[in-house]
Structure 1
């Protein structure tokens, strides 16, 4: 195993780094803590690691002082038996003079593929002169359990596919820091239409529709089989696949465990409700599908009510869904959800006392709660009245002076007795951090 590890470590020394588009992630290494970047597979975590490595090289760090391993490399399968400690044996056998004398920068890609990685990294942080950077595609790397095993020696950041601003960076479109000129606005709006079609996965940016669909579908199957079936040793993978397709087809719609269990039963699957609950939890753990509960002070009441489902990427929905149930309104709602999810996991839907529904209520540190309604167009008087009434009623009940309606193209300010509703086109909502139109 040591010989194989040394070959991999030496291969990295000759590897030309692909740095890609600089990500707008405020990741700051902290002395004595491992830097953990987590997110859905193919969101750009490995490329972001390459960017961090390049910064180290540019600052004068020797390439030999960088230890990089990708744990999805099939050659590392034997580490599960030999133990992760052999990594240091292999490295210091190559560079013995660096032991206890020079700082080593350790980059471990998709380390969750190896069981028992937490004690190894913890020991590394305690006993070696090193900085540790980790990527993973499991939200469990944020959990209290991991924090306990790491004894507080880790700080985690989430990595999503390209935000709209990052997509603008890819297109080299200058969105400025504040007000846009007419020319800038036209460029941004044109870029949004491209983003609307392509989504945020870095690898599909700029590809024609046929290739984009093929790659999205490969991602879909990779998540299902590597992040669910293999990781959790699921004995009936067809049930998971059928469930994932149903959820994708019903993006931005309500579901209940009873409904999902009954659906799988109708297809001949013998998946109990507890198994379906596990599948949903594992989808979320893989940063693939997200569940949104009803906003309620009582957790039991919130869990008893139907929940809504969203996907990591709106364009992936169009590439995977059957196309029967998903419409542009659902895709827009999904896009708004992911924009909010970049800011906070505390996102709910709200139901007023009069039974009206508001798509999102989000809360995050140092900001008031934000009410967001999503509607493709307010051109229909009936639609306009319904959406405004729901938002106004929620504003009164929650004592919030402001609400937002995100549309595809429309923009206006509506002044009511309850407060102000800003109607914002999707490109502007994505370009600026809601609700205060500050730079992302």
Structure 2
């Protein structure tokens, strides 16, 4: 086996790196901790690892100091927990002069394929002069699990499908500098494409039918590999039916009680506790996200109805029945994922008069961000309702600025407590920072 590992390592030294579209994410390493990249399936974490490797090479690190293994390589199929120690042994048998003298950068892709890998990585960090980068499908590499299994020796980083600015990068459209008329038209056209295709890198260049088919394969892989197989669910149809209901009701309120009742109406015997587990597993797989009401009381926040969003708005259109989904819900989902890339804590807000604002985002050291999403303000009744909800929330929270994101409207509305910025979705996404500020 050691000879096989050495062959794979040497093969990598001659491999041309496929780095793809540079991601607007830069992971930072901490001495003695592994950097772990977790994501929904097919978000491009393996490609991102090649980008990290390329940056190291560009900074002067020798290719020989890069140790890369993909544990989905069939030649490593027989590698077991008790034989993982062969990896450093194989490496240092090739480069003995580097042991304890030079930093070795270890990249282990899909390491969850080997059961019990955590003690090996823990030992490697303790005994060797190295930096360790790990990736794996969300079925085994969830940040919650990593924090427990690695005893504090890991920092987790999230990778999402392409943001709008990364989508622009993939199209060769410069997102920096002045927004000239030509650039604005190019960005607006690109937004229309992004609206149709979503952000999964693999589907961007596909036609509609292939895109839908690919999205549906993602959906089933997440359900069966990240949930049913991993958690040994004995009634997978209940999970599938629940997932379909949640996707069909993207950007809508739900409660565990009504979901339990829904499954019961279909003949499933899933108790409330099981439904709660399913919801948590969906979130752990970066597939569906729950948003709670903004309330100082955690108990009230947990007992109030919650809202659900999907990892990708175009995935919703590909797998939903289409009966309940409308473009307003999809726009709200799109804005949620854009905010979620930057902020882990996102809530919805309900005013004392019962009016709802879609998102409130607490930002450390800065005023909370209030964002309302509405497809259009052209209808007078809609305009009045959306402005009233936002102005009430601003007044109650002591905020001077609120935002309404629409498909095309662009204006500034002065109200008693401050200003409401009405902004088209393309501009809102275009102006978001790459990382949380």
TM-score class normalised by the smaller sequence: over 0.9
Aligned to 1:132: 132
Question: In the TM superposition, what whole-angstrom CA distance separates every residue of 1:85-115 from its partner, at most 9, and x where no partner exists?
Answer: 3332333344444333332211012334444
Q: TM-score, normalised by structure 1?
A: 0.93
Matches within 5 A, 1:40-439: 40-138=40-138, 141-143=142-144, 146-147=146-147, 149-177=149-177, 179-433=178-432
Structure 1 distance, partners of 2:119, 2:364, is 31
Structure 1 distance, partners of 2:318, 2:435, is 32
Classify the secondary structure of the residue corresponding to 1:133.
Answer: strand
CA RMSD of aligned residues (A): 2.2
Report deviation, 1:81.
Answer: 4.9
Classify the secondary structure of the residue corresponding to 2:267.
Answer: coil
Where in structure 2 are there 5+ consecutive unaligned residues? none
Structure 1 distance, partners of 2:132, 2:378, is 53
Residues 277 and 148 of structure 1: is their aligned pair in 2 closer, same or farther, counting only changes over 3 Å? closer
Structure 2 distance, partners of 1:81, 1:248, is 38
Q: Is the 8 A contact 2:81 2:117 kept in 1?
A: no
Question: In the TM superposition, what whole-angstrom CA distance separates every residue of 1:279-329 from its partner, at most 9, and x where no partner exists?
Answer: 110111011110001111111111111111100000111111111111100
Q: Is the 8 A contact 1:329 1:375 kept in 2?
A: yes
Report deviation, 1:75.
Answer: 4.8
Q: Is the 8 A contact 1:358 1:391 kept in 2?
A: yes
Aligned residues: 436
Residues 396 and 140 of structure 1: is their aligned pair in 2 closer, same or farther, counting only changes over 3 Å? farther
Q: Is the 8 A contact 1:431 1:439 kept in 2?
A: no
Question: In the TM superposition, what whole-angstrom CA distance separates every residue of 1:372-408 from its partner, at most 9, and x where no partner exists?
Answer: 1100000000000001111111111111111100000
Structure 2 distance, partners of 1:234, 1:71, is 26
Classify the secondary structure of the residue corresponding to 1:393.
Answer: helix
Residues 46 and 321 of structure 1: is their aligned pair in 2 closer, same or farther, counting only changes over 3 Å? same
Question: In the TM superposition, what whole-angstrom CA distance separates every residue of 1:240-260 from its partner, at most 9, and x where no partner exists?
Answer: 111111111111011111111
Structure 2 distance, partners of 1:216, 1:254, is 24
Classify the secondary structure of the residue corresponding to 2:291.
Answer: strand
Report deviation, 1:206.
Answer: 2.0
Q: Is the 8 A contact 2:81 2:116 kept in 1?
A: no
Structure 1 distance, partners of 2:216, 2:400, is 43
Structure 1 distance, partners of 2:7, 2:236, is 36
Structure 1 distance, partners of 2:137, 2:351, is 36
Name whichever of 64-73 and 197-206 sits farther off.
64-73
Q: TM-score, normalised by structure 2?
A: 0.93
Structure 1 distance, partners of 2:436, 2:222, is 32
Residues 264 and 2 of structure 1: is their aligned pair in 2 closer, same or farther, counting only changes over 3 Å? farther
Residues 206 and 61 of structure 1: is their aligned pair in 2 closer, same or farther, counting only changes over 3 Å? same
